[in-house]
Amino acid sequence: MLESESLDAVAVITRRTQTGQIVLDFLNRGISVFSEKPMAQTYEDAQVLTSAAESNRCVYSVGFMRRYDPAVRKAKQIISDRISSGELGRPLFMSMSLIAGDDYCGIDGDIKSQEAKPPDGTWRRYPAWCPPELGAAYESFVNVAGHNINLLNYFFDDGEAIVQSANLFSANHGQALLTVSSIPATFTWAQFTGSTRWTETFALQFEHGNITLELVPAFLRNVPCRLREERCRLPGICGETIDYHFDWHWSFKVEDLEFIRAVEENAETVSSGISSLRDYIIIDGIWRRIVGAC
């Protein structure tokens, strides 16, 4: 393709171990790229990709489709408004949880080929400071729980995140304690391969109410996430619960359309590579503490 085709943009949907190297080939030729997440397994390799996109003036977008969901976008607006206005009082703490099974929701299977699978890529699957016995758990976290870290950075894109502690209870089951924009936060995750169960939530508690986001499985077609705001009853003031409703929507499709528009307009997408680079700082913070605890 690189030698024989004139390309405006490509979508790179490959095995995670091969994605980064393929993306880099296109970016170095000045071709805009949409790739599935994660763009790489380590901060250093992700930085190579964002630098290549910047120096070659390419649109580089990463497949964090949650950012294209109307409930997620509304939640970002409400969180910002309620914190700045103070109408729900001080933000007290927030929590994220993920029980990840199979979120493909019975979609058609992969297209099968008789070709032999290519070998794995040569880029690192986990950082040099991560012990090999924890490498698979780290790799799984970046691929699956990386969505939640990216969501946290989306909601607080101008805030500092500090990891206080983290523990791994089993290979794909752990918890991290953080502060984000000085708000205490917990993130608990567990992964059960092959299970049809998928439970994913984000909640921000205020003195006088809360904002709760229920995230639907990624491939649950045309069903947006669910958003609720609760205002507590105060003396002389009635409490209320607001359930926000949205039209049928599939964020996978919307992110594709927005990537195409960004290429046409030479603009960044809401899930640009450079915005996703911040995720690795939190991921490194979590896993350095896991390595220390183990």
Helices (H), 1-69: 16-28, 43-55
Please name the residues in contact with 264: beta carbons below 8 A apart, sequence gap of 6 or more: none
Min mean pLDDT across 15-19, 59-63, 67-71, 283-287 is at 15-19
Q: Tally the domains of the chain.
A: 1
Please name the residues in contact with 6: beta carbons below 8 A apart, sequence gap of 6 or more: none
| Mean pLDDT of all residues in 145-174 | 95
Distance CA 15, CA 110 (A): 13
pLDDT value at residue 196 = 86
| Mean pLDDT of all residues in 286-292 | 96
| Mean pLDDT of all residues in 136-140 | 95
Residue span of the structural domain in which 138 resides: 66-105+131-250+274-293
CA gyration radius for the chain? 20
| Mean pLDDT of all residues in 8-12 | 96
Phi, psi of 11 (to 5 degrees): -110, 125
In this predicted structure, the answer to whether residue 121 has a pLDDT above a threshold of 90 is no
Cα–Cα separations (whole angstroms), residue 263 to 32, 103, 217, 269, 294: 7, 29, 28, 9, 45
Distance CA 205, CA 89 (A): 10
Residue 199, in any domain of the structure: yes
Residue 193, in any domain of the structure: yes
pLDDT value at residue 236 = 66
Instruction: For 165-194, write each residue's pLDDT tens digit.
Output: 999 999 899 999 999 999 999 999 999 877
| Mean pLDDT of all residues in 46-73 | 98
**pLDDT tier, 120 (very low <50, low <70, confident <90, very high otherwise):** confident
In this predicted structure, the answer to whether residue 292 has a pLDDT above a threshold of 70 is yes
Closest to 58 (Cα-Cα) out of 271, 277, 266, 291: 266
The continuous run of DSSP H or E covering 232 comes out as: none
Residue 27, in any domain of the structure: no
CATH number, domain containing residue 227: 3.30.360.10
Q: Which residue has the tokens 């350095």?
A: 288
| Average predicted confidence (pLDDT) for the chain | 94
Residue 24, in any domain of the structure: no
In this predicted structure, the answer to whether residue 111 has a pLDDT above a threshold of 90 is no
Closest to 232 (Cα-Cα) out of 97, 92, 96: 92
pTM: predicted TM-score of the whole model, two decimal places: 0.94
8 Å CB contact between 149 and 284: no
Residue 168, in any domain of the structure: yes
Residue 225, in any domain of the structure: yes
Instruction: For 203-259, write each residue's pLDDT tens digit.
Output: 999 999 999 999 999 889 899 999 999 998 766 666 899 999 999 999 999 999 999
**pLDDT tier, 79 (very low <50, low <70, confident <90, very high otherwise):** very high
Distance CA 88, CA 102 (A): 36
Please name the residues in contact with 206: beta carbons below 8 A apart, sequence gap of 6 or more: 82, 88, 89, 90, 91, 92
Instruction: For 92-110, write each residue's pLDDT tens digit.
Output: 999 999 999 988 888 887 7
Edge-first strand order for the sheet with 240-244 is 161-170, 173-180, 183-191, 91-100, 198-206, 209-214, 226-231, 240-244
| Mean pLDDT of all residues in 75-86 | 97
Residue 166, in any domain of the structure: yes
Residue 230, in any domain of the structure: yes
pLDDT value at residue 85 = 96
Residue type at 243?
A: D
